[in-house]
Amino acid sequence: MTKKKLTIALAGNANVGKSVIFNQLTGLHQHIGNWPGKTVEKAEGTLHFKGYEIDIIDLPGIYSLSTYSLEELVSREYIAVERPDLVINVVDASVLERNLFFTLQLTELETPMVIALNQVDIAKKKGIEIDYEKLGQTLGVPVVPTVAIRGIGVYKLLEAALETIEKEESKPRQTTYGEEIEERIEKIVSLVEKIGFKYPARWTVVKLLEGDEEVEKEVSKKNPDILPIVKKMAEEIEEIHGHSCSTVVTSERYELAGRIAREVQQIMPAAKPSTSQRLHDLTTHRVFGYLLMAATVLSIFYAIFTFGGYASTFLNDVFYSWEPIFENVLGKGILGELVWGGVEGIVAGVTVALPYIAPFYFLLYVLEDSGYLSRVAFLMDVAMHKIGLHGKAFIPAMLAYGCNVPACLGCRIMETRRERLLAAFVVTMIPCAATTVVVLGLVGTFVSIEWAMILYIIDLVIIFLLGRVAFKALPGEPTELIMEMHEYRLPHLKTVVSQTWFRLEEFIKIAFPLIVVSSLVIKSMEILGFLELISDALSPVTVGWLGLRPEIGISLIFGVLRKELTLIMLAALLEPAGLGVLTPVQMVVFALVTMLYIPCVATIAAFVKEFGWTKASFITISRIIFAISIGGIAFRILSLSKIL
């Protein structure tokens, strides 16, 4: 028997438990990639149920179907053009009105749908009781109450979904606007119907009235007469209401959402504030909020570096104990050395990725899922504003202290392209775990811990100043923070683990091939004796301008692979005397240059993936020039002032 195939899309606001439902439905059979040609994530999974093979698509969490963000555009195109068999609209029962606003927009897309009324437990704690049957009748859509993190209602949800698909002929009830709007829609809808547009005709008219630029453009291409008529109608509506037509349409939609919410829910305010509420008050408090944030961030770093350092050394020891075996098999010839070079690259990738990045991601996803990160974004908004970003950018910035690669990809949480680029520019300057190893291992050990701290402060000041320059130089207006702070809740372990896993997979895909290839290139140069030539060629810069030793040219080249290699290589090159032969000034200058000079090859790859070659090369080259200039200046100041 061949299985019948179905496609179901999950749609809803951010943080409503959509990805938890996705995980409950698909288990391990899932795949995360990008929407074709877009830097928007696409999560897909399969499920077998009652003789069907069901493809589940998790759409991005959004609040509307306008063109404010790429995510919104991707979602509405998917629903309208790809036409999934059904859309499951995941609704947060504790914030019904806002969620219904999105539900109404989905019904306007005339797609068959089922509502998962999720987090009914959280709603209950807030004193909200919802008559879900009445909600279903009002909307003309089946409603299934669920508590996704405990798997409650998920089976019923699937049954309801299949029933709806099998019934066919099940369009949800349409939103009715005010008379003056409805009259006008009616006048023009037949004209729009004739052009055979990808979106439903009525929805298209409403979007035209709202002034949706994308729809305007495409409709004009098909029939240029429509736009002027609609514009005139929009002006008439504006005259009646005194607000722009787009405002009127959105208001009416919200009014309807509010009316439905009031009809189906009963709110009994709790006698005392809930735990979630008290936690919220504390974590956004003007004093305690910051203290708690500092404590959280510091303990995460402490945990990661302690655990990571331990695990990394352990993995390294295991791998290097295999070196003799390799030598036996491959011999000590050129081939053997080359292959070992490649293996070393992979080893390095593993010893950084597993011990540092995996736990970092895991903890951040726990914090994000629980709702804490949105509070951090609220607290950090002011600071991020100084460099033209808003509070949400603090999240990739934190990630960057672990590793720049995920941080660069994490800049997708910013709404516009401009903001993403600006955030990525800033986060790829932040010293990652590997850079920290260099600074602490060299300056912290041989000079003093104070000097290591001073370097960090100087680096932060430089990042801040360069961020400001970039913010002023990039055309466009900064977007401001506008973010929902949902109720605190327990994170769902399985979802957090699978999110961590997919991030790790992404990192491996980007970083590993590059690390291996460039390890091979450098190893070949070493075998061919090119490295000496290069260090000689670089000596006017390394020795003349920076006041360092000629060996440093080579170690800086190795540092492009991974930053901590600068130190490892330098120690090897300076044998037998060791790192101690460097003067304190040389150590400080060297660490400063290592911090600034170039993002590692994996970060550059992530940058290319997100923003293209031109921007990546421009940033890489200007960073090298900048780092060398600053390094030389620092060398002169430090030598003249004799403070070291």
Partner 1 sequence: MELPLTALKDGESGIITSVKASPGHGGGRGWGFQKRLMDMGLTPGTKVMVVKSAPFHGPIEVHVRGSSLALGRGMAERILVAIDK
Residues 6+ apart with CB under 8 A from 382: none
Residues 6+ apart with CB under 8 A from 276: 122, 125, 487, 488, 489
Segment near partner 1 (CB under 8 A), from 136-144, 148-156, 239-247, 448-456? 239-247
Residues 6+ apart with CB under 8 A from 439: 431, 452, 455, 456, 591, 594, 595
Indicate whether 476 belongs to the interface with partner 1 (CB under 8 A).
yes
Question: Whole-angstrom Cα distance, residue 214 to residue 455?
Answer: 48
Question: Whole-number minimum distance, CB 286 to partner 1, in Å?
Answer: 5
Indicate whether 131 belongs to the interface with partner 1 (CB under 8 A).
no
Indicate whether 116 belongs to the interface with partner 1 (CB under 8 A).
no
Segment near partner 1 (CB under 8 A), from 178-186, 339-347, 473-481, 522-530? 473-481
Question: Whole-angstrom Cα distance, residue 46 to residue 50?
Answer: 13
Burial class (CB in 10 A: 0-12, 13-18, 19+), 242: exposed
Question: Whole-angstrom Cα distance, residue 396 to residue 414?
Answer: 10
Segment near partner 1 (CB under 8 A), from 60-68, 226-234, 511-519, 631-639? 60-68
Radius of gyration (Cα) for the chain, nearest Å?
29
Question: Whole-angstrom Cα distance, residue 100 to residue 110?
Answer: 15
The residue among 325 and 482 lying less far from partner 1, judged by its C-beta, is 482
- Bridge partners of 128, per DSSP, are 267
Question: Whole-number minimum distance, CB 642 to partner 1, in Å?
Answer: 39
Question: Whole-number minimum distance, CB 644 to partner 1, in Å?
Answer: 35
Q: 481, 525, 568, 644: which one contacts partner 1 (CB under 8 A)?
A: 481
The residue among 286 and 642 lying less far from partner 1, judged by its C-beta, is 286
The residue among 36 and 242 lying less far from partner 1, judged by its C-beta, is 242
Question: Whole-number minimum distance, CB 223 to partner 1, in Å?
Answer: 23
Question: Whole-angstrom Cα distance, residue 21 to residue 43?
Answer: 12
The residue among 96 and 304 lying less far from partner 1, judged by its C-beta, is 96
Per-residue b/e over 372-381, b at no fewer than 16 CB within 10 Å? bbbbbbbbbb
> Residues binding partner 1: what is the number (CB under 8 A)?
43
The residue among 138 and 639 lying less far from partner 1, judged by its C-beta, is 138
- Bridge partners of 10, per DSSP, are 58, 88
Question: Whole-angstrom Cα distance, residue 348 to residue 337?
Answer: 16
Question: Whole-angstrom Cα distance, residue 359 to residue 307?
Answer: 9
Binding mask 261-300 for partner 1 (x = CB under 8 A): x------------------x---x-x--------------
Q: 250, 524, 583, 639: which one contacts partner 1 (CB under 8 A)?
A: 250
Question: Whole-number minimum distance, CB 39 to partner 1, in Å?
Answer: 18
Q: 381, 459, 506, 564: which one contacts partner 1 (CB under 8 A)?
A: 381
Segment near partner 1 (CB under 8 A), from 482-490, 537-545, 616-624, 628-636? 482-490
Q: Which two tokens stand for residue 130?
A: 């919802």
User: Which residues from 204-233 bind partner 1, rule CB under 8 A?
Assistant: 210-211, 213
Indicate whether 247 belongs to the interface with partner 1 (CB under 8 A).
yes
Question: Whole-angstrom Cα distance, residue 406 to residue 394?
Answer: 14
Q: 251, 306, 313, 448: which one contacts partner 1 (CB under 8 A)?
A: 251
Q: 355, 391, 402, 553: which one contacts partner 1 (CB under 8 A)?
A: 391
Instruction: Please give the C-alpha separations between residue 122 and each of 126, 291, 388, 488, in angstroms, as whole numbers.
Output: 6, 28, 36, 9
DSSP β-ladder status, 86-92 and 113-118? parallel
Q: 64, 170, 174, 639: which one contacts partner 1 (CB under 8 A)?
A: 64
Per-residue b/e over 303-326, b at no fewer than 16 CB within 10 Å? ebbeebeebbeebeeebeeeeeee
The 10 Å Cβ neighbour count of residue 231 is 15
Q: 49, 155, 254, 502: which one contacts partner 1 (CB under 8 A)?
A: 254
Q: 133, 180, 214, 480: which one contacts partner 1 (CB under 8 A)?
A: 480
Question: Whole-number minimum distance, CB 485 to partner 1, in Å?
Answer: 4
Question: Whole-number minimum distance, CB 36 to partner 1, in Å?
Answer: 24
Q: 35, 78, 197, 378: which one contacts partner 1 (CB under 8 A)?
A: 378
The residue among 26 and 66 lying less far from partner 1, judged by its C-beta, is 66
Q: What is the 3-state secondary structure (H, E, C) of 53-67?
A: EEEEEECCCCCCCCC
Which runs of consecutive H residues, i.e. helices, occur in 284-357? 288-320, 323-330, 334-352
Question: Whole-angstrom Cα distance, residue 590 to residue 551?
Answer: 12
Question: Whole-number minimum distance, CB 464 to partner 1, in Å?
Answer: 15
Question: Whole-number minimum distance, CB 470 to partner 1, in Å?
Answer: 18
Is residue 580 within a helix (H) or strand (E), and if so which, with residue range?
none
User: Which residues from 317-376 bind partner 1, rule CB under 8 A?
Assistant: 374
Binding mask 73-112 for partner 1 (x = CB under 8 A): ----------------------xxxx--x-----------
Q: 53, 129, 218, 484: which one contacts partner 1 (CB under 8 A)?
A: 484
Answer for the pair 638, 440: CB distance below 8 angstroms, yes or no: no
Burial class (CB in 10 A: 0-12, 13-18, 19+), 519: buried
Indicate whether 124 belongs to the interface with partner 1 (CB under 8 A).
no
Q: Footprint of partner 1 on this chain (CB under 8 A)?
A: 63-64, 66, 68, 95-98, 101, 210-211, 213, 243-244, 246-247, 250-251, 254, 258, 261, 280, 284, 286, 374, 377-379, 381-382, 385, 390-391, 476-477, 479-486
